[in-house]
Every structure is written in C-alpha cells, then in structure tokens.
C-alpha cells in the first residue's frame, strides 16, 4: 500500500500537468473523425449532396415563394438527421464489428473523447449542410434570410444533432452492420417524410398528421421552421422538451444494448 | 533514447509498487497475471480457471487451437471483458482501469481500420492517447513504415496494414505488449523484421504476450510457451521443454517397404505419407532405422529429427497428433 502511495505521489505532478489532455484528445479525435468522413465520399456526398440536389430541384422551382424558404429549414433538418444516423449509426456499427473499436478501447483513449468526436462531427456536418442551404436559398432560392435567422438555424442544427446522435448510438448497437444502410434508410426516410422535412405536414394524409407529433423529427422541424416564422413560436418549450426527453431515452436504450453486447462479447 | 522526466519517475515507481513487498521474488517481476480466471459466454465456458503469469522482459507465446481461449485471455488482460470469477492484474492494476492502459500496447485482429485516414494520422491519433508516446519517427522506423506515412490506410496491402497495427501498438512506448496473431498475412521478410522488433522489445526489458498459429514463430521468439486447451492450462515451459513432451522422433525416408509392415515395427507410434516418402514417428528411432536399412537397400533420403513443436502441440491438445500434413514447419 505504502508503495502504491509512493507511486501515486510520484505520478501526481504529471497528472496535474496533463489535466487538459482529455480535451486535446477530443479535439484531435474530432479533427480526424471529420477528415475521415469528408474523405469517405459515400458519406459526404450523400449526406451533403442529397439535400443540396433536392434543393436545386424543388427549392429553386419555388423560387421567391414561401416553399423555397420552407425547404431551407426542412432540408437542414433532413441533413442533420441523416448525418447523425449514417455518421454514427453506421460507422460505429462497422467499427464495432470489425474490431477497430476494441483496439481503441484497449488504448487509454477516453471513451468520452471517442463518443464526443462522433457527436461533434455530426454537428459539424449539420452546420455545413445548413450553411450551404442558407446560401442556396438566399441566392438561387430567391428568399430573404436575415443573418439572425441564419445564425438561429445554424444553432438549431448543432443542438438538433445531439438527440439524433444519441439515436445513432442506439441504432449502432441495434442493427447488424451488414444490413445497416438498408435499415437506417427504412428508419429515417419515413421519419423525414412524416415530419415535414420535405413538405408541410398539413399537406400529408390526415392519419400521418395525427402521427407526426409523436415523432422527434417533427419537433426538430417545428423548431427550425419557427426560426423562419413558419411555425408557431408558442410551442417551442414543448418541442425542446420532447427532444431532450428523446435524447435521454435513446442514450438509455443505447446504454442497455451496449451492456448486453458487452455481456456477450 | 531520450526520456522525459515524468517517464523517468514513473518507471521506478512501477517497480517499487511491487518491489518492497517481495524483493527479489518471482512476484516482484510479474507484469501480468490471471488467477483462476473463469469466463463464460452463455453456456460455453471459454476459460475454466486459467492461471497465467507474465514476467518482465519475457516473450510468452500463447498456443491453442481455435476456441481454446487465447483471444478471451488477451481480451481479459486488456480489460475489454471482465472475468466471471478469478482475478486479472496487469502492471499491478485492474486492466479495466484506464490508468493501467497507458503502459500497454495491443495489436488485435482488426478486420478493417478507418481507411480514409493516412498512416501518419493514425499514428498521430494513437500517440495522442498516451502521456509519454514514442516519437512518430521511431514508430515508423520500428514498424517498418518508411515511405508509407502519407498513404491512406485503404491503399495499403495486407502486410502493410499489419505493420501499421504493430506500429499503433508501439505508440505509447508500452512496457507490456499484446500481439494477437501478429504476422498473419505478412511475407517472409516482413515477418522476420517483426520478429526482430519483438526481440528488441524484450531486450529493452519490455514484456510481450503473443498468440500465434505459426509454431515456428513461438519457437523462434518465445522464452516460454503456454499451451491452453478448452480454457485450461495444458502445459507451459520453454519451447524445448514443450517439444520434449513428445518423446517420439521423426523419421522420414523413401522406401519400398509396406506401410503396414512399417507401422508394426517396435516403438512406432504413427505413420504418414509425405509425397513419395513416409514419415514414421517412433519412440526408439535407432531400432527402426536399423531395420529399415537392413531390409530395404534402395532406401534413400533418410532424415531423423526431433518431433517439431507442432507435433508436441498437437499431441498435447489431442488435435490428432501426426495426422496433419507435414511441411508447415521446415
């Protein structure tokens, strides 16, 4: 015991000097996670490219009309959700199945740095998509977006990536990696459609309009649309509360599936 | 090699933490131990009370057939899983504690590594995890990655990928290195080079636990071989001691004598064909050779040798000794 105390005493100055190390690791991890995703064309082209392409088709077709503004907010939400579900749900599932995660876990890498880097990268992609859409909207879309509205939407994209990153963690431990893309499409395409990412919920079939408020994606869309004055500003607290609750639920579900997979590994 | 002050302080502290308790005993030099470790997966018992000790500066080869519990052992020692009962200690700590991992390096069987990162980036990232990492240039040199630093991982050949993984295991300048099947997919030259690096690690006082399917590798590298089977320790000793566990000698020759006759000779334990020749395993090879020479004057290509480590291994694990084709070990 006394020997251990001696070891601790000797190690103490080094520990104090390295108090910032976890933060440095998080930054480095995020830097390379982002670089890796950018270079993975299947990811970056689809996650950024799809909303951009759709905006060029449907946003520009509604040039100068409310629809062009609506789709900036709607497609930004779509981008955030797909960046999270593919960026975490798929990559984490693969890294886990292929043994890469084990190698990282065997190193002294702080787990929170690994998870934090994944969330931060999703937020960064959400931000990029939002900025591109705002630029497209105010140029080719012919709609006026104030700097304040743009900043607000960017903030929503960043904050909104947290609940869906949490969902990504759950999905990563739920889906078999080989069928990952298919299952994730099955989850997020209906969610996007039913939540008003692509068209106002009021244009959807009546039964879907009833279902929509039960979806977390609907609440994200309402918050984003409210930034452009296209949704009632009154219910914001409820929308945020639903997203917060959804985050907790997803993290808990991810934690339970994680523990279950640990027990079998 | 230059040492930063904290490393210089931390190293003797690690020794002290065990030293005063039992100076000069075997315990003092233990870097990793498993004590009656039991691990179950559902109804399958992967480890059934395994004891294992790894000492400072030692290269230990963990041998066993598939499902013997090699990977489970490594995963326990890395703190990736917890034992159902028993105790796991690595460098005096529970390996599940993050602090224990700063002095450990691991090379695991990884099917795929993020392919869009450059070799240099992978090394930079792993180095950032450790308080006192090895210089990047040193990692590159030891793993034989010169000229590959700016290549994407996805562009590398299988052998080059293995070398990157070996390099990642060295990033933290670890005292204890776990190598799970390190030379799978390596060409002969790369394998020899990696062997040199493993020996260099041991020469610097580092400890290495390696699992391998190449018994030649265990023979060439290990101070001690630990053979496990069905989650239990079967035998441990130097490669020579393990080999001596099999008393039969190996006789290879080209002869026209009938195999049935040969297998009936005194002390012959088994027999197999190897292309145009036969391989005879016998407890008293001299008697057998005398009879062979006497009865077949056309006999040629005669070789008598100790049974290779592989045979000892197969005999120990009951994997059908002498039934496998020869030629794996020259």
Mean pLDDT of chain B: 82
pTM: 0.79
CB contact under 8 A, B16 and A13: no
Mean pLDDT of chain A: 88
- pLDDT above 60 (res A46): yes
Residue A137's pLDDT is what? 94
CB contact under 8 A, A28 and B124: yes
Q: Using alpha carbons, list the distances in angstroms from residue A232 to A44, A183, A262.
A: 33, 33, 45
Query: How many CB contacts within 8 angstroms connect chain A with chain B?
Result: 109
Domains of chain B in sequence order = 28-242 (3.40.50.300), 247-306 (3.30.70)
Note whether A252 contacts B: Cβ–Cβ < 8 A.
Answer: no
Locate B35 and state its tokens.
């004590």
Instruction: For residue B220, give how far its alpha carbon lies from the nearest alpha carbon of chain A (Å).
Output: 26
Note whether B20 contacts A: Cβ–Cβ < 8 A.
Answer: yes
Express each pLDDT in B225-239 by its tens digit: 998 888 888 888 888
Tell me how crowded residue A55 is: count the other CB atoms within 10 A of its CB: 23
CB contact under 8 A, A103 and B98: no
How buried is residue B80: exposed, middle or buried, by Cβ count under 10 Å (0-12/13-18/19+)? buried
In this structure, what are the phi and psi dihedrals at residue B168, rounded to the nearest 5 degrees?
A: -65, -35
Express each pLDDT in B54-85 by its tens digit: 998 899 999 887 778 888 999 999 988 889 99
Contact A104, B171 (CB under 8 A): no
B147 backbone φψ class: left, alpha, beta (φ>0; ψ -120 to 50):
left
Note whether A24 contacts B: Cβ–Cβ < 8 A.
Answer: yes
B320 backbone φψ class: left, alpha, beta (φ>0; ψ -120 to 50):
left
Express each pLDDT in A219-248 by its tens digit: 999 999 999 988 888 889 999 999 999 999
- Which chain A residues are Cβ-neighbours of B98 within 8 angstroms? 108, 110
Tell me, rounded to whole angstroms, the distance of Cα A155 from its chain centroid. Answer: 13
Query: What distance in Å separates the CA atoms of residue A65 and residue B36, rounded to the nearest whole number?
Result: 74
Contact B287, B280 (CB under 8 A): no
Express each pLDDT in B171-198 by its tens digit: 999 999 999 988 887 888 888 888 999 9
Locate A66 and state its tokens.
């409310």
Instruction: For residue A250, give how far its alpha carbon lies from the nearest alpha carbon of chain B (Å).
Output: 24
- pLDDT above 70 (res B167): yes
Give the nearest partner residue to B81 out of A39, A97, A265, using CB atoms: A265
Tell me, rounded to whole angstroms, the distance of Cα A12 from its chain centroid. Answer: 38
Tell me, rounded to whole angstroms, the distance of Cα A218 from its chain centroid. Answer: 15
User: Which of A21-25, B40-44, B94-98, B326-330 has the least mean pLDDT?
Assistant: B326-330
Give the nearest partner residue to A4 out of B17, B102, B131, using CB atoms: B17
- Which chain A residues are Cβ-neighbours of B18 within 8 angstroms? 3
Q: Using alpha carbons, list the distances in angstroms from residue B76 to A36, A256, B172.
A: 31, 22, 20
CB contact under 8 A, A14 and B41: no
DSSP A120: H
Express each pLDDT in B92-105 by its tens digit: 888 888 778 889 99
- pLDDT above 90 (res A168): yes
Contact B148, B128 (CB under 8 A): no
- pLDDT above 90 (res B44): no
- Which chain A residues are Cβ-neighbours of B113 within 8 angstroms? 98, 100
Strand, helix or coil at A181?
helix
**Of residues B193, B131, B133, the one with CA closest to residue B169:** B133
CB contact under 8 A, B128 and A24: yes
- pLDDT above 60 (res B19): no
User: Which of A27-36, B164-173, B213-222 has the least mean pLDDT?
Assistant: B213-222
Q: How confident is the model at residue A75 (pLDDT cuts 50, 70, 90)?
A: very high
Instruction: For residue A259, give how far its alpha carbon lies from the nearest alpha carbon of chain B (Å).
Output: 11
Contact partners, residue B321, CB within 8 Å, separation at least 6: B246, B270, B311, B314, B315
**Of residues B75, B5, B14, B37, the one with CA closest to residue B206:** B14
**Of residues A21, A5, A188, the one with CA closest to residue A90:** A188
Query: What distance in Å separates the CA atoms of residue B18 and residue B13, rounded to the nearest whole number?
Result: 9
Among positive and negative, which fits the CA dihedral B172, B174, B176, B179?
positive
Mean pLDDT of the region B114-118: 90
Query: What distance in Å separates the CA atoms of residue B128 and residue B261, rounded to the nearest whole number?
Result: 67
Q: To which residue do tokens 């090379």 refer?
A: B107
Residue B74's pLDDT is what? 92
Q: Whats the size of chain B, residue-wise?
A: 330
CB contact under 8 A, A103 and B116: no
Query: What distance in Å separates the CA atoms of residue B8 and residue A185, rounded to the nearest whole number?
Result: 54
Find the residue in A nearest to B179 (Cα).
Answer: A103
Query: What distance in Å separates the CA atoms of residue B34 and residue B29, rounded to the nearest whole number?
Result: 15
Express each pLDDT in B133-158 by its tens digit: 999 999 999 998 999 999 999 899 88
- pLDDT above 70 (res A102): yes
How buried is residue B323: exposed, middle or buried, by Cβ count under 10 Å (0-12/13-18/19+)? exposed
- Which chain B residues are Cβ-neighbours of A108 within 8 angstroms? 98-99, 101-102, 129-130, 172
Residue B27's pLDDT is what? 52
Give the nearest partner residue to B101 out of A13, A36, A107, using CB atoms: A107
Express each pLDDT in B244-292 by its tens digit: 766 678 899 999 999 889 988 888 888 888 888 998 888 888 889 999 9
Note whether A25 contacts B: Cβ–Cβ < 8 A.
Answer: yes
Q: How confident is the model at residue A216 (pLDDT cuts 50, 70, 90)?
A: very high
Give CA torsion, residues B287, B291, B292, B295, to 10 deg.
180
Residue that wins the pLDDT comparison between B25 and B4: B25
Contact residues, B window 40-99, toward A, CB-based 8 Å cutoff: 41-42, 75, 78-81, 92, 98-99
């Amino acid at each position: 015991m006394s020997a251990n105390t001696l070891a601790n005493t000797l190690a103490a100055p080094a520990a104090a000097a390295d108090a910032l190390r976890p933060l440095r690791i998080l930054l480095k991890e995020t830097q390379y996670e982002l670089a890796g995703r950018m270079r993975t064309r299947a990811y970056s082209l689809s996650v950024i490219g799809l909303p951009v392409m759709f905006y060029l088709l449907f946003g520009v077709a509604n040039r100068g009309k409310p629809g062009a503004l609506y789709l900036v907010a709607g497609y930004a939400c779509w981008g955030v959700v797909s960046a999270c579900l593919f960026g975490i749900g798929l990559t984490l599932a693969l890294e886990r199945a292929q043994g890469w995660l084990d190698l990282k876990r065997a190193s002294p890498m702080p787990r929170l740095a690994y998870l934090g880097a994944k969330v931060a990268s999703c937020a960064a992609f959400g931000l990029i998509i939002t900025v591109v859409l705002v630029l497209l909207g105010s140029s080719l879309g012919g709609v006026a977006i104030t700097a304040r509205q743009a900043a607000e939407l960017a903030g929503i994209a960043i904050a909104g990536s947290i609940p869906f990153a949490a969902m990504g963690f759950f999905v990563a431990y739920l889906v078999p990696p080989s069928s990952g893309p298919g299952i994730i499409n099955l989850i997020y395409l209906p969610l996007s459609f039913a939540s008003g990412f692509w068209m106002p919920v009021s244009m959807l079939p009546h039964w879907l309009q009833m279902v929509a408020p039960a979806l977390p994606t609907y609440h994200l869309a309402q918050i984003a649309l409210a930034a452009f004055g296209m949704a009632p500003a009154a219910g914001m607290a409820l929308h945020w509360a639903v997203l917060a609750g959804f985050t907790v639920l997803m993290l808990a579900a991810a934690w339970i599936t994680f523990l279950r997979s640990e027990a079998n590994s | 090699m230059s040492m930063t002050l904290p490393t210089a302080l931390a190293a003797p502290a690690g020794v002290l933490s065990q030293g005063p308790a039992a100076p000069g005993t075997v315990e003092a030099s233990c870097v990793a131990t498993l004590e009656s470790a039991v691990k179950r997966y559902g109804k399958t018992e992967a480890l059934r009370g395994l004891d294992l000790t790894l000492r400072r500066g030692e290269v230990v080869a963990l041998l066993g057939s598939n499902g013997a519990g090699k990977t489970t052992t490594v995963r326990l020692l890395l703190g990736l899983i917890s034992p159902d009962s028993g105790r796991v200690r690595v460098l005096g700590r529970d390996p599940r504690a993050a602090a224990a991992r700063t002095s450990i390096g691991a090379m695991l069987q990884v099917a795929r590594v993020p392919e869009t990162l450059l070799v240099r980036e992978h090394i930079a990232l792993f180095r950032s995890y450790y308080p006192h990492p090895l210089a990047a240039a040193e990692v590159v040199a030891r793993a034989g990655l010169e000229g590959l630093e700016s290549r994407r991982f996805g562009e590398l050949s299988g052998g080059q990928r293995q070398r990157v993984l070996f390099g990642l295991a060295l990033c933290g300048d670890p005292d204890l290195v776990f190598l799970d099947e390190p030379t799978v997919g390596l060409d002969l030259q790369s394998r020899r080079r990696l062997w040199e690096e493993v020996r260099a690690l041991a020469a610097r006082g580092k400890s290495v636990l390696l699992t391998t399917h190449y018994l030649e590798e265990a023979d060439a590298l290990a101070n001690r071989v630990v053979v496990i089977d069905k989650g239990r320790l079967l035998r441990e000793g130097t490669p020579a001691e393990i080999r001596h566990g099999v008393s039969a000698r190996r006789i290879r020759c080209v002869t026209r004598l009938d195999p049935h006759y040969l297998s009936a000779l005194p002390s012959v334990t088994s027999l197999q064909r190897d292309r145009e020749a036969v391989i005879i395993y016998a407890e008293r090879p001299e008697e057998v050779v005398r009879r062979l020479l006497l009865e077949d004057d056309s006999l040629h290509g005669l070789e008598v040798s100790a049974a290779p480590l592989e045979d000892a291994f197969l005999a120990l694990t009951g994997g059908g000794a002498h039934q496998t084709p020869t030629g794996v070990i020259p």
